[in-house]
A = this chain, B = another copy of it.
Amino acid sequence: MKFNIAENLAELRARSPLVHNITNFVVMNYTANALLAVGASPVMAHAVEEVEDMVAIAGALVVNIGTLSPLWVEGMKKAMLAAAKLGKPIVLDPVGAGATPYRNQVLSELLATAAPTLIRGNGSEILALAGVNIKTKGVDSTASSIDSIQAARLLSDKYGCVVSVSGATDVIVSGEKVAYVENGVPLMTRVTGMGCSASAIAGAFSAVQPDAFEAAVSAAALMGVCGEKAFEKAKLPGSFQIAFLDALAEVTPEVLERLAIIK
């Protein structure tokens, strides 16, 4: 398959889309910095009193349930409805799906509220979301992305959306289409917020690239390539997380295209 990931990154930087995040407390700072580093403009807003207005000026909405609670879920629903009505892309990150019944219930409600443009999660989360009964361990994955392809396709068909599964190989599914992104390094699993940043960056790409499959592949490739670039400079998780932000800012469209391994 051929993807215009270099152009997509150039376009993202040229337009610097506003990405509206309703995300978890753990990763808010890192996600905002990742979006700024790559060239997008982040805003975080969760109150039911303002999410519709914020979505209206944003290029994409990213909903992440990492530290959910009822009031926040209300904000997520209202924002998703508004985004759907306005035709703005919605990225859903089902953090910890399967870990507790409450997370599963909230995810059902969110998916019933508005179909996302993209669901991005790890293998365990995608399996749990597809109704496969797996034993999860909090928010870390116990399943590989490859083992989740069937589940991803099921979700893609059910919601008419793209599904991106992070792992040693990132798998992006859209109906019958499947793309594999082979970039990245294992150290990325030792820094919190890498998956959440992948979702936020997918939101940024989807704000400038209407083809959600292409946007999701571009985001996965960028994350993986920047992980590799960061690993050249830092082999330990603290300095790696910083080097990763540097890489997001430093990587050129040409380098991204040259290093991306997409099948």
Binding site for B on A (CB under 8 A): 18, 20, 24-30, 32-33, 36-37, 41-47, 49-50, 53-54, 57-58, 66-71, 96, 99-103, 136-140, 189-193, 236-239, 241-246, 248-250
B36 engages A190 (CB within 8 Å): yes
B102 engages A53 (CB within 8 Å): yes
The verdict on A242 contacting B249 (CB below 8 Å), with A25-B25, A25-B44, A28-B26 known, is no
Look across to chain B and name the residue whose beta carbon is closest to the beta carbon of A58: B138
B26 engages A26 (CB within 8 Å): no
Which residues from chain B contact A58 at a C-beta distance below 8 Å?
138
Q: Apart from A45-B67, A53-B99, A57-B99, what are 7 other A-B pairs with CB-CB below 8 Å?
A: A33-B192, A37-B190, A43-B99, A45-B96, A53-B102, A237-B246, A238-B243
Q: Which 10 A-B pairs have the closest CB atoms?
A: A238-B245, A43-B138, A50-B102, A236-B246, A53-B100, A32-B192, A50-B100, A238-B242, A47-B69, A49-B102
The verdict on A49 contacting B69 (CB below 8 Å), with A138-B54, A238-B242 known, is yes
A241 → chain B, closest Cβ, in Å? 7
B18 engages A137 (CB within 8 Å): yes
